[in-house]
Structure 1
């Protein structure tokens, strides 16, 4: 609003409102005068209030000759100031999603958040959806914090992101918004390695400190972790309005120094709202007898403290004992949205259908995974401790192919001239530094030999074949790119090879990856230093055969996750088929876990009333043993869900046993069913109201593949028995679903249907005897025993119909699958099943119960348990981690 008179005009004490400047106020408030004369009169009124009640103070203003209208304006201003102060001291709450909050988004007067937006715009971020999504997600996190003016609080929260997805940008935005609202001290725990701490310090200085330098003080520097500073009052005294930034490594020595310094400064911290950001919060923070207590000690010195962990692998954090004085995220857990263009686990490896999903709608992932035969593994990784010393790697065919493809992809990216200017390949086979170093000589020899042979026709023929094969499998056009012809990239190859560095990146390395001094083209061989937080810029090729045993370790080693702007068609990963299956399972676990986390924002649940469940795997731990010590087996109901087989052995004996079990069930169903519907022309038979014990007998004979933990016969029969005890699932409908156009398969005399075609997923070097068909049961099949037309019903509609019409009846569907099952030409990622015998697939559909029957296949935090025991990591107690 413009001034109502020139700012330098003379003012009379008794002048009307129109002769004063006015200021803009919040929406709905009256604008009040802002002049030196008015301010003087207002200060006089406030001084009078120290000695007199308001009515007497007003009388004394009148005695001073101040007009009634001005006195009214003074009183209104005093009332507005009082309301503002009260709001700061006793923050109000508004509902945002499923939570009350004091923070609903940035204000026009903010400084730190707008500075970040300006930087992101200059870096090419789009207003919508990129910046808008960041704004919304960071606002969500800040809205879950305490108001900085509350007298005391100790908040514990967790933010779940994706590997290499911009978590640093998100928590930088959270810091900016909290700083704009009055948080003063910001402690960032930046992993356990110097490289990540330095990288984080640089990012925060660039995006927070430099745009508003007068607002910030720093306790750490680019090459300086925390060292005690003199005179804490200069940082935290009431007269100092600056924000204080401290980026520290999760190292026992460093954290101990910080704790002692803060403890000595306790007199100045009573009015110091603090936000602790724990980056890689599952690493070192949980179940350690050095780092964990030190973080808790630091928090104990801060009466107003909010702790927020950030991680893409939150498994350990979600299993902390909630009843202990620990860092279980008791106040909130929130998912970050998956950014557009992000390459995550599911995008690369696909996943399995969750309960309630239509398997046909679940993507297989991009065709970017290449198989490393098990026979190659001993050539690139010592198999025992005794083999480590003196180990000499062999450049196998798959390793050479991966490296040659990296050089070709780098040349193609130079032709395009877009996207990240760096080009990196990762080789990760072992954590041992001596093994890393052993790769230098053979890799340098391969590089030099290739550079000297670029005129060799046999080499060029092989490179051309590799390039044409890879670009045909993953067409550039699917990613909005244009294929670079081999002739176009060939002139770039000599310079690519000349500039390609072989870097051993580990704690003993003299030369490490450095992206700050010009474009990098490098093959990086490493282990732990490359598996946490640190971004491998321009990563396009990974060769990964590292042995792992836990979800979080496996997920964090996936440095290939992230953004690939300008070369989204080019990334490739070489790994064993077993590792690829593990990542596929992990993608399923992640999706299911995030479903549970979303419950906190959509339903009346908190982390203290509902524990996130984590699906288990027969060959992998969820996290380190000490971090699961307080976990309990969680309940997961089969009610309202359908379960189906998609893994099969292909050997004849195993398959013949399942055929016998299926024929036995059908024969018993024919004899015991109350009624039957036979539609052989449609490939359908349904036998109604079969006794449950026939299903139990079938499940005791039918063999599920051991890599299908959700199809565990003991779990299924245990669940059915519990439901039967409660009066449900005593009767079952048994259906047979075949292909009306397929060749016949006989289950019993007069009961024959055509065999279905279910091709297997194609992998370069399939595990002998294993077939994964991914999808068995259609949505329509789950309604095969329902009356009327169900073609228009979705999954939820079918389950509602089942609950209404067949509330206590289960459905078991048998599928005869042709042993050859040649895929149609349109199925590019499928190949013939080629089993030794015909395959029997099984689908089970359970009605939603009126009560909670459960089976055991998940783990979660125990919401009533006691203290967590700790585990030590020796690296965390050293100064040079």
Structure 2
């Protein structure tokens, strides 16, 4: 609409608010305004009224598998569009980069509480990849939350000044500067939090600005903030607050000083949402869920892997998971170079006693890594694209004295190389190194243009002249600074370079640092990230043992992310389903203090209940599953040791059916592709492995659960039950060939083959009884579902199933591994046994008595 129309609307808005619609229209027409313009003003006013009502009255829609109030940006938003403009200026393409960021940040905001709710205390976790743009994601989440009415934004930006300053600068650039009148700041670029005199000036009703506070996770700083917020409590009742915890596994979990202070800050805020961001969430997933702590009880989500990102699996490969063909699992790029064990003591003192007087030896592998770095920098200058900085990381120890000891030998190596550029022997060695590396990893495989050694020679003098040797640690004054022109640097460091801080243009790493835990190891990998314009050139020198650890870690990450995806695709949440973390014989998952509440989790599917929630509605797909179910029941009738028929209850149990019929059924039955937990190949492989290693799951109980009041469904001669009623969820973007019924299997059904009264048993008690009665027997339950399945009148977010054919649902219950069986893949997880959740009685969906 034109500026003139906007001005007219603003002029007459009061009139529209003051009179009934018909009277307001008459008065507008009296001003001589044409009917078309009047209609436009009325339409604009109605849209604005609806929008304001939506903000004031929280409502829910279904997004994925969750109810939400937020489904995406509005046209009138200010903060999010400003970020989009900045990203486009930086060269971000709309597809897939900006769209993916939009989708992933919308997902996170949709899991927060509506800012108009009277009170809330949300705890969530967002899992990204190392150096993958987590800061951009949480900045986008903050922008969208601000556009919807969140007021106070506290960002816990790691434990080092460098990361806090870097984060403050990013947030000011992307949030504050595009809309300066909308923001107030409690911290500055070089100023951490200091108490302000007048809280009313920030939180009083007269101040409509958003408030930004970026602080280190430092006890002194957080204590000042906690005390100031407590004094400001009179102004915080209507102050929706979003707390972003960057690097949420660092200092937040199980610390005697930082953890209580974060909780204290949250206690001062009647409306607070805490969202942790990390690429190594192992500690966060092991917090005691029943304690008043920061376990992500409300949500855990994965950020999508960005296109072109170098991650653990890409570089190191991983091991095949259950059900995967090892031949189909990528081994990673050929970019890892081996450091012999004998070289380690040349670059790192063996004990603390050896630190004093230590000076590293420039071994053949270290020399090759440094010389290759100079060649890479020259090649990138020739290409002239991508990041203007070029960095090499040497990480052998956390000790600052060891870092400093590298200065003299590296400086000598650089100066000698500069003097040798006319030496045919030196140039021959460099040519051999370059030719060998470019042959092993051809530039063309990454869409890059190859560079010959002869092209590099003219660039090498300038590279060596500009190359700085920097000791970047907590005691050094000469630090990495990418804000004052292109940098070429060999950086030697430890913890200050190991987390959060981006090493711009990192192309070569020399890494022998020994670690003891997954999260520490993963965060040391500063080589993860984006390599635009030089994707073929990165190399990492490390020991074979470390490379094996990273390969194991890539496997852990893949399994962990698969578990997390269950939250968004299955009827689970962090208080009903604990993410499992595969263990390693030589590495802890995280620090011992952070694992004190962890418990041994089931091996793979052991001790789990698996059920189908998603279905296609087309007849061909459904008929295939009906055929598979009838084949299974016919085989069960013929091969079961005992049949228990309870047609009045709509139940049959076929006991001790050989496993071949179950795996045969799973091979024929088609699970919906959106459900990662229901992978037939994985389940079949797991059953076979349990049989081979411990002899369990060789026999199965096959059950049919129907509704006695439903229309008849015949499985086999003499075997028929009434059809169940399962209405579909109302989805925001409905697909006629997709239905989500959310819940198939009741707790009662999971105990259908157990002896005794199980009606009042909790989930864990049912599994305990199964372990006592049927420790080696699996349970497979078949559900015939009526193709119409009308919802009850009280089910407002449900619609008729309306499938083209009747639907077959499947539930599987696996006994806990015991004895020799427990050696199959060990995992740990959070202990959910003390969590109390009121469970709905889903039997009421079928009209059964409660």
TM > 0.5: yes
1:550 corresponds to 2:550:
no
Aligned with 1:159 (options 126, 151, 154): 126
User: Could you tell me which residue of structure 1 aligns to residue 408 of structure 2?
Assistant: 441
Does the CA-based 8 Å contact 1:640-1:849 persist in structure 2?
no
The 1:638–1:34 alpha-carbon spacing in structure 2 relative to 1, beyond 3 Å, is closer
Does the CA-based 8 Å contact 1:541-1:571 persist in structure 2?
yes
User: Could you tell me which residue of structure 2 aligns to residue 432 of structure 1?
Assistant: 399
Alpha-carbon separation, structure 1, partners of 2:573 and 2:411: 55
Does the CA-based 8 Å contact 1:370-1:575 persist in structure 2?
yes
Residue 317 of structure 1: how far off its partner (Å): 0.3
What's the CA shift string for 1:819-858, capped at 9, x where partnerless?
Answer: xxxxxxxxxxxxxxxxxxxxxxxxxxxxx97533433600
Does the CA-based 8 Å contact 1:201-1:247 persist in structure 2?
yes
Residues 678-827 of structure 1 mapped to structure 2, 5 A cutoff? 720-723=694-697
User: Could you tell me which residue of structure 2 aligns to residue 369 of structure 1?
Assistant: 336
What's the CA shift string for 1:176-228, capped at 9, x where partnerless?
Answer: 11111111110000000000000000111111111111111111111000011
Residue 87 of structure 1: how far off its partner (Å): 3.4
Alpha-carbon separation, structure 2, partners of 1:401 and 1:423: 17
Alpha-carbon separation, structure 2, partners of 1:121 and 1:74: 33
Alpha-carbon separation, structure 2, partners of 1:283 and 1:371: 30
Alpha-carbon separation, structure 2, partners of 1:126 and 1:84: 30
Unaligned runs of 5+ in 1: 8-20, 24-32, 47-54, 62-68, 642-688, 692-710, 729-806, 810-847, 868-881
User: Could you tell me which residue of structure 1 aligns to residue 672 of structure 2?
Assistant: none
1:863 corresponds to 2:837:
no
1:106 corresponds to 2:73:
yes
Does the CA-based 8 Å contact 1:371-1:575 persist in structure 2?
yes
Does the CA-based 8 Å contact 1:630-1:865 persist in structure 2?
no
Unaligned runs of 5+ in 2: 28-34, 609-657, 661-684, 703-775, 779-810, 837-850
Alpha-carbon separation, structure 2, partners of 1:2 and 1:309: 43
Residues 515-530 of structure 1 mapped to structure 2, 5 A cutoff? 515-530=482-497
Residues 140-159 of structure 1 mapped to structure 2, 5 A cutoff? 140-159=107-126
The 1:523–1:118 alpha-carbon spacing in structure 2 relative to 1, beyond 3 Å, is same
The 1:81–1:170 alpha-carbon spacing in structure 2 relative to 1, beyond 3 Å, is closer
Does the CA-based 8 Å contact 1:637-1:852 persist in structure 2?
no
Residues 563-712 of structure 1 mapped to structure 2, 5 A cutoff? 563-637=530-604
User: Could you tell me which residue of structure 2 aligns to residue 280 of structure 1?
Assistant: 247
User: Could you tell me which residue of structure 2 aligns to residue 381 of structure 1?
Assistant: 348
Secondary structure of the equivalent of 2:559? Answer: helix
What's the CA shift string for 1:258-278, capped at 9, x where partnerless?
Answer: 011111111111111110000
Does the CA-based 8 Å contact 1:381-1:429 persist in structure 2?
yes
1:391 corresponds to 2:358:
yes
Alpha-carbon separation, structure 1, partners of 2:440 and 2:301: 37
Residues 111-260 of structure 1 mapped to structure 2, 5 A cutoff? 111-260=78-227
Alpha-carbon separation, structure 1, partners of 2:512 and 2:320: 27
The 1:128–1:491 alpha-carbon spacing in structure 2 relative to 1, beyond 3 Å, is same
What's the CA shift string for 1:581-640, capped at 9, x where partnerless?
Answer: 000000000000000000000000000000000000111000000100000000024679
Residue 864 of structure 1: how far off its partner (Å): 2.5
The 1:37–1:514 alpha-carbon spacing in structure 2 relative to 1, beyond 3 Å, is closer
The 1:175–1:36 alpha-carbon spacing in structure 2 relative to 1, beyond 3 Å, is closer
User: Could you tell me which residue of structure 1 aligns to residue 438 of structure 2?
Assistant: 471
Larger radius of gyration between Structure 1 and Structure 2: 1
| RMSD across aligned positions (CA) | 3.4
The 1:240–1:361 alpha-carbon spacing in structure 2 relative to 1, beyond 3 Å, is same
Alpha-carbon separation, structure 1, partners of 2:521 and 2:443: 29
How many residues align? The count is: 644
Secondary structure of the equivalent of 1:211? Answer: coil
Residue 338 of structure 1: how far off its partner (Å): 0.3
Alpha-carbon separation, structure 2, partners of 1:203 and 1:173: 12
Alpha-carbon separation, structure 1, partners of 2:39 and 2:698: 77
Alpha-carbon separation, structure 2, partners of 1:75 and 1:575: 69
What's the CA shift string for 1:146-170, capped at 9, x where partnerless?
Answer: 1111110000000000000000000
Residue 495 of structure 1: how far off its partner (Å): 1.1
User: Could you tell me which residue of structure 1 aligns to residue 237 of structure 2?
Assistant: 270
Alpha-carbon separation, structure 2, partners of 1:543 and 1:117: 37
What's the CA shift string for 1:764-820, capped at 9, x where partnerless?
Answer: xxxxxxxxxxxxxxxxxxxxxxxxxxxxxxxxxxxxxxxxxxx999xxxxxxxxxxx
User: Could you tell me which residue of structure 2 aligns to residue 39 of structure 1?
Assistant: 14
Residue 239 of structure 1: how far off its partner (Å): 1.2
